[in-house]
Amino acid sequence: MVGCSDYPYLRLYSSLNPATPIVHFTEMYLASTYANSPTYRSQSITPRSLGPRTVIQFAATSPETFLEAALQAQKNGFGGVDLNLGCPQSRAREGGYGSYMAESWDLCLAVLSLAVDCDDLRIPVCVKIRIQEPKDGRTGGERTIQFVGLISDLGVDMITIHGRVRGTDDDRRFGAADLGVVKRCVEEVQRRGGKTKVISNGNVRGVGDVGRNLEYTGADGIMVGEELLRKPDLFGRYAQGLGEGGEEERKVKIVKAYLEMLEGLEGGEGMRLEDGSKSGKNGGMIRGVVDEGEEEFERMSVWWTNLEVVKSHFRWILADRGDRGSKRNFAKTKKVLDVIKGVKKRFGLA
């Protein structure tokens, strides 16, 4: 997720879910810039420290650009590339990518086809979509099933389906995700004899939802976004057969683990911290600094001005569902501000 895929938090996921086969998806990057700018690549998360099960997600509007970015990602060690056809944000509308690009199936299929058919690209090609808009007398579900079938026929390795339509600028998440459509998409891929893996996205609000979702849809896996911000140990607890008990104790444990993760990065693994507060620019954490023109250079945007990213993570972890940012939740998150003061002092950023 944009602004939430920072390095230490991704590391936290791995540490809390050690025996679970997790695949990390990066936030969405612009394929055209990634393909042509060494500086942009250096400022992006890389799999160097997260491992090969890291998939980079691209916004792309041309077959050649997506392929070029994918080949560069392969060179940089990513375990897969993902075409985002689900982003509903206004910037996606302005750029003609994400869910807005999904309105042109021919273009989407051309982008994926060139990558799948390229012999030089040896890592998996994935795509994420959401339920399509109704059109020409056909329901959104019917059109989504057809679209998934066409994508599967190309030989794409994995399709993630978010079970909601795009919605409006004011209402992105109206109602529950339609897992019935996801289920029918799984059946369609199987009917066509495709080898494409189908991943279900939506309606996971707790550990128990993971199993129920998989059982109902028949999907090969689950993608979770926001709920992992609240419960980064979600998949580990599911794998261990644990429920939702001990919430307060669990939250304290996660906060402590995140603080230890942050502190452990200082001076370790060839890293040093930068603070951009005085310059008004985003701070960063520099890893393995060499010539900035070389691919070994890597900046992981973590230490933003006023440590807003870190603060946001603490708010997600400690807040109860539905009252993040509300007045009645202020007493809890006020403690977060005290923790942040300590973190800033610890790293000399106060």
* Residue that wins the pLDDT comparison between 121 and 52: 121
CA–CA separation, 271 vs 168, rounded Å?
42
Q: Which of 105, 54, 109 is nearest to 78 (CA)?
A: 54
With bands split at pLDDT 50, 70 and 90, how would you rate the model's confidence at 284? Answer: very low
pLDDT of residue 51: 73
**Chain position carrying tokens 């190309």:** 154
Question: Per-residue pLDDT averaged across 173-184, rounded?
Answer: 86
Walk me through the domains of the chain, giving residue ranges and CATH numbers.
Answer: 7-242 (3.20.20.70), 248-346 (no CATH)
pLDDT of residue 173: 54
pLDDT in tens, 81-114: 999 999 988 889 999 999 999 999 999 999 999 9
* pLDDT value at 289 more than 80: no
* Residue that wins the pLDDT comparison between 15 and 268: 15
* pLDDT value at 336 more than 90: no
* pLDDT value at 300 more than 60: no
pLDDT of residue 250: 81
Measuring CA to CA, how many Å separate 100 from each of 85, 107, 169, 281?
7, 11, 13, 31
* pLDDT value at 122 more than 90: yes
* pLDDT value at 162 more than 80: yes
* Residue that wins the pLDDT comparison between 43 and 207: 207
pLDDT in tens, 34-70: 999 988 887 777 776 677 788 999 999 999 999 999 9
pLDDT in tens, 231-256: 888 898 888 888 777 777 788 888 88
Lowest mean pLDDT: which of 3-17, 127-141, 246-260, 281-295? 281-295
pLDDT in tens, 216-230: 999 999 999 888 888
pLDDT of residue 345: 61
* pLDDT value at 168 more than 60: no
Lowest mean pLDDT: which of 118-132, 187-201, 267-281? 267-281
Q: Would you say 53 and 87 are in contact if contact means Cβ atoms under 8 Å apart? A: no
Q: What is the 3-state secondary structure (H, E, C) of the chain?
A: CCCCCCHHHHHHHHHHCCCCCCCEEEEEEEHHHHHHCHHHHHCCCCCCCCCCCEEEEEECCCHHHHHHHHHHHHHCCCCEEEEECCCCCHHHHHHCCHHHHHHCHHHHHHHHHHHHCCCCCCCCEEEEEECCCCECCECHHHHHHHHHHHHHHHCCCEEEEECCCCCECCECCCCCCCHHHHHHHHHHHHHCCCCCEEEEECCCCCHHHHHHHHHHHCCCEEECCHHHHHCCCHHHHHHCCCCCCCHHHHHHHHHHHHHHHHHHHCCCCCEEEECCCCCCCCCEEEECCCCCCCCCCEEECCCCHHHHHHHHHHHHHHCCCCCCCCHHHHHHHHHHHHHHHHHHHHCCCC
> What is the chain's mean pLDDT, rounded?
79
The amino acid sitting at 90 is S
* Residue that wins the pLDDT comparison between 22 and 274: 22
pLDDT of residue 104: 96
